[in-house]
Amino acid sequence: MKKTIVLLFALFLLTGCILPGPAKEPTLDQLTRVDVEYEDNTYFESVIEGEEEVNELIQILQEISWEDGKAEMAREPDMILHLFFTVEEGMPESIRPIQIWFNSDQTATLIDSHNARIGKLKKEYASKLQELIKFEVQ
């Protein structure tokens, strides 16, 4: 009986060591590509995928001031950025959507529903984002 309990305990320890841990949250330096979905559900093909463009977008995304919380907006987003991250070589990409509203004061409001947070982008960076993705406010 004692041997059985010891064997089960040893198996439990081994199994606990073998099972993968929780998935790692991707970081901006793992961003490899961005697809853009416009409010009318049309897509551009991999609008941002070159190293220079991705690095420029990373610089813009680092300027977002985030706050935890959920929000509902009165209108549909102007666009959704689908951020593709390569977290681990040989594994599928991790995709995170970021909804974006361009405001009349030329700032931008962003919602990251995956991480339940709301962001603001100042006028200067909202403008750079519009230029990068070739988006014109209607």
Residues of the chain with pLDDT under 70: 1-24, 41, 43-46, 136-138
pLDDT at res. 47 = 77
pLDDT tens for 113-137 read 889 999 999 999 999 999 998 776 6
pLDDT at res. 22 = 56
pLDDT at res. 103 = 95
Could you tell me if 81 and 97 are in contact, meaning their C-beta atoms sit under 8 angstroms apart?
A: yes
pLDDT at res. 88 = 86
CA separation for the pair 80, 99 (Å, rounded): 4
CATH number of 56's domain: 2.60.40.4400
Residue 64: inside a domain, yes or no? yes
Range of the domain at 110: 24-133
pTM of the model: 0.76
**The total number of structural domains that make up the chain:** 1
Return the half-sphere exposure (C-beta side, CA atoms, 13 A cut-off) of residue 117: 9
CA separation for the pair 115, 68 (Å, rounded): 8
